[in-house]
Amino acid sequence: MERFTESIRFDQRLYAHDIAGSIAHAQMLAKVGLLSAAECEQICQTLREIQGEIEAGRFPFRTELEDIHMHIEQALIDRLGDVGRKLHTGRSRNDQVVTDLRLWTRDALDRVDRRLVALQRAFVGRCDRDADVILPGYTHLQRAQPVLAPHYWLAYCEKLERDRQRVADCRRRVNVCSLGAAALAGTSLPIDRQEVALRLGFAEVAANSLDASSDRDFVLEAAFVLGMIALHLSTWAEEWILWTTAEFSFLTLPHAFCTGSSIMPQKINPDVLELIRGKTARVAGDLQALVVLLKGLPLAYNRDLQEDKPPLFDAYDTVRASLDVAAPLVAGAQLDHAAIAARLDQGHLDATALMEHLIRRGLPQRTAHGVVGRLVRAALDRGVRLSDLPLDELRQAEPSLDESVYEVLGPAQCVRTIRSHGSTGPEQVREQVRRWTERIAAARAGRAREEDND
């Protein structure tokens, strides 16, 4: 029974948050007169000693004590006797556990946010280095239109920024104090829940004790946020895996992030990217586990909720580890400018630019689309570029064309014609790089101020 019901294997990582919550609770009990000042000081000092022992690896964990909360409380009682027994006044393990988990999740989200900023900084840091590189953009994994490399890097910054927004929004709902809800109905003792919330940095106090003791939707939401981050990392990893192949030859990864083959000496395998892609399956599984865990629970607390921690911890550990290797990998990879440029004319990437040139000359879009389609077919049949077609042949397809048509043909000329907001046009990209450089600097400055305040 002890082996089956224990959770100390995984919830011991909550020790610092459990001790922080217990210290805040003890200080509140002293303020409302349920502990003396001397008892409060004894309890707080002993809790800090216990934390030091855990961090030094000298604290014994025992299966029969079940979880981290009982371990810490029993150690307190062993050292302080009846004074230690007073700590649990006005609270239950139900509200204690959820408060600890909210504190841990809040810290975890903050750590993830810092890593998202670091990855954004790595992408932005590439923009000057690759400022003049033109890449083939794809739809359906077929060459579509040319784009500037910085435009591609900033596309991932935008995705990561939405991830940051989801982290911040989730954090707001996490940052609610459950302590004082007790088992499910509250308590008749004169506790001050606002005082505890203030000491622990919570923005507000949970309004309903039944909801507070049973609520785990913040865990599910955090797992979803982590899942979205993992998904974005996976799609990036998949694309870069393709780019490292001989078929693409766009990208060379730092060797520190690759491995060789046990039998084929020429191989350089993108193992880190493959693992980032593969580990996304774990995070998706963690999210699914939480959905199934919570789907049928009646109010209020049920022991099933003990199982919310392993998937949350695993999702966080997996995403954090992926972000830790993603940023230096992005910063260290090298685009093969020559290989990209050598094949950039393949795929008639300037076809859309030619169509828009015809539109500007008065042709309806569908008519212009048909004209260019016929010209692309002619170029394909002869194995040439659109810009290789002589003007007479172009004018047979559309008589209004003149020499100015060659000003929009070719990937470089094509990119220069684009000017819509948020596009890959050079002026737009330079403005976006400037905006992102300022945004990253502001994010770092804001984080530094928060650390100074801490």
Q: 387 catalytic, yes or no?
A: no
Q: Which of 22, 69, 92, 140 is catalytic?
A: 140
CB 219 within 8 A of CB 290: yes
- What is the Cα–Cα distance from 268 to 255, expressed in whole angstroms? 8
Q: Which of 36, 255, 261, 400 is catalytic?
A: 261
CB 59 within 8 A of CB 50: yes
Instruction: Kindly state the helix (H) or strand (E) to which residue 391 belongs, with its residue range.
Output: helix 391-397
For residue 300, cis peptide bond before it (omega within 30 degrees of 0): yes
Sign of the alpha-carbon dihedral angle for 159, 272, 342, 389: negative
- What is the Cα–Cα distance from 423 to 193, expressed in whole angstroms? 51
Distances 354 to 236, 267, 370 between C-alpha atoms, Å: 30, 42, 11
- What is the Cα–Cα distance from 157 to 115, expressed in whole angstroms? 13
CB 179 within 8 A of CB 193: yes
Q: 140 catalytic, yes or no?
A: yes
What is the rounded (10 degree) CA torsion for 293, 298, 301, 304? Answer: -30
- What is the Cα–Cα distance from 282 to 318, expressed in whole angstroms? 8
DSSP letter at 60 equals P
CB 207 within 8 A of CB 297: no
Comparing CA positions, the residue from 245, 231, 189, 256 lying closest to residue 322 is 231
DSSP letter at 59 equals P
For residue 335, give every residue at least 6 positions away whose Cβ sits within 8 Å of its Cβ, in sequence order, or none.
130, 133, 149, 250, 251
Cα atoms in the 13 Å half-sphere on the side-chain side of 224? 11
CB 282 within 8 A of CB 267: no
Distances 197 to 19, 26, 200, 206, 223 between C-alpha atoms, Å: 15, 13, 5, 10, 24
Catalytic residue numbers read: 140, 261
